[in-house]
Amino acid sequence: MKILGIDPGYGITGFGLVEAQRGQFRLLRCGAITTPPNTDFSWRLEVIYNDMVELLQVTKPDVVAIEELFFGHNVTTGIGVAQARGVVLLAIRQAGLEVHSYTPMQVKQSVVGYGNASKHQVQDMTRRLLHLDAMPKPDDAADAIAIALCHGRSNTSLLAQAYKHQGGFI
C-alpha cells in the first residue's frame, strides 16, 4: 500500500510517500509544496491546490493521511493553515482517494509509542523505522512521513485487518 502523508501549511506543506507491506516500510518520496511569504493569500492557496493535484497524479497513492489541526495560541495562523488544509482535502477528494486524519498525539503514539513524545523522538523513530541515515528536510516533510507511518502502522495492524475483514466491530 502506498500512503501519502501530508503536513498542511500555507507557507510549507510537507509530504511523504511511504510504501507499507507486511509491517515493513519504505520511503519512496518526500518534499514540500512551498509558497513565498508576503504574497496574495488566495494565490498561495491556488498554488497549494494545483501542486497537490499534480503530486497526487504523479505519486498515485492508495490512500492519504493528513494531520488534524491543532490550534495553539496563534488562532490567526491556525485559520490560514485550516484554509490550506481545506484546499488539500479538496484535491484529495477530487482525486477519488480515501483520506484519514490523525492528531499530533496519535502520530506520536503510533510512531514512538508515547503520545507526548518530542519532535526529536518522532523524527528519530521515523528514521529508524525507514532505515535512513538522516531525516529528510524540511521538518514539514519529516512530519508528513511520520503521518504516513502512523496510518501504515494503525491500518496494517492485525486488529485493523480483522476489523476490515469482519466489516465492523470485532
Q: Which residues are catalytic?
A: 7, 67, 140
CB 22 within 8 A of CB 9: no
Q: Tell how far CA 88 is from the center of its chain.
A: 11
E strands present in the chain: 2-7, 12-21, 24-34, 63-67, 98-102
Sign of CA dihedral 53, 55, 56, 58: positive
Cell numbers at 64, concatenated: 492519504
